[in-house]
Amino acid sequence: MTNWPIFKKDAEPHDGIRHLPPPPSWRQFDPNDPVSPRKKKKGETYQATDQEVEMVNAALYLRRPLLLTGKPGTGKSSLAYAVAHQLNLGEVLYWGITTRSTLKDGLYQYDAIGRAQSNNNKLQDIGKYLQLGPLGTALLPSIDKKPRVLLIDEIDKGDIDLPNDLLHAFEEGKFEIPELMRIADEGVAAIDVRTAYNDETEFTYGRGKEIIHRGKVRCNDFPLVILTSNGERDFPPPFLRRCLRLTIAEPGKTELEKIITAHFADEMKSNNLVAQEMDTLIERFLAKQKDGDLATDQLLNAMYLITREKSNLGNSKESLIQAVLKYLNRAEDV
C-alpha cells in the first residue's frame, strides 16, 4: 500500500482492498478464535495507575464490588481484563447494562417457549433450556479457590431499581432458581445447566456446564466484581455502602505515552519517527482535551492512521486527525 486511499474518487473497480494493512490490535477479528482478540489485548496492554492497583487489591481482600466512575474512554472496563490477565483468573464474565436490564437477566435465562415447542416434558432435561447469566455464573463455587471476574458495564444506564436489586446478591453471594427448586421437590435434585463462559482457550471454559443442586447457587469465594459508570446519575446510599468506589481520572502525558508504547512497540522499534509522531499527537490531544471530552482510543486511532508503514497520507493527514479527534460531548468542533 504505497498510497493512502484505497477507495478513490471516480476510479474504476479494482482489487486494492487486498493491500489493506493489518487492523489495529484493538480491532482484530478472528473467526477461529472463540473470543475476540480485542479482549485479550485489553488485559495485556492496560496501564494501571497506583490508585487503581490499591483499590483492586482492597476489593480482592474485602470481597467487595469495585465501582469505577469516569468519562467515556478512560479505560474503566479494561481494568477487569487487566486483573484477570495478570492473576490468571480466566475469562472475564461480561454483563453490559441497558435500560431494559433486570436482575434476572444477570442471574439466568429460562427458555420456557423453546421447551414447550420441543414437547420435551422430561424434568431432567430442563437444563437444556436454562443458561446462567454473567452474574449467576460469577456466583458459582469458584475453581481452584480462584475468584471469578465479573464486569458489569455502564450500570448507570440501567433501570433506577437495578442497583438496589443487586444488593442481596452482593451481600449474600447466593440466589435461587425457582424452576429448578420446583422439580427438586419432585425428585430431580441435580441439573446440568450452561454457564456464561465461552472462551475455549481459558481454563474457566472447562466448567462450561455446572450442576445446580436443588435450584440453589452459592459462591464459596466472592467474585471480583467491577462495575463501571459514566456518571450519568447517582446511586442509592445502600448500594454505595456495599461498593468500594474510585473515580478514574483522564490519563496525563506520561500515562498516554505508556498506553501508546504498549500498543505500538513494534512500530517504535522499526521506525524512529513514530516516537516523534507520538509526542506531537499527545500534545495536540491534551491541548484539545481542555475544551471538550476526548477518549483515549481516539488518540490510538489517530496514531494508527499516521504511523502505518508505507502509507502516505499526504494532504489527508491533517483532515483525518481532525476527523478522528472529534469531541464526544458536542455535535461539532468549535
37-247 CATH, one of 3.30.70.120, 3.40.50.1100, 3.40.50.300, 3.10.105.10: 3.40.50.300
Q: pLDDT grade, residue 177 (50/70/90)?
A: very high
> How much is the pLDDT for 277?
86
263: number of CA atoms within 13 Å, CB side? 27
Taking residues 170-178, report their average pLDDT. Answer: 94
**Residue 211 pLDDT > 60:** yes
- Kindly report, residue by residue over 220-242, the tens digit of the pLDDT: 999 999 999 999 899 999 999 99
> Distance of CA 197 to CAs 161, 187, 325, Å?
27, 29, 36
Taking residues 310-326, report their average pLDDT. Answer: 80
Mean pLDDT of the chain: 87
β-bridge pairing 216-218 and 130-132: unpaired
**Domain range annotation of the chain:** 37-247, 251-324
Report the distance separating Cα 319 and Cα 93, nearest Å: 39
- Kindly report, residue by residue over 78-137, the tens digit of the pLDDT: 999 999 999 999 999 999 999 999 999 999 999 888 888 888 778 878 888 899 999 999
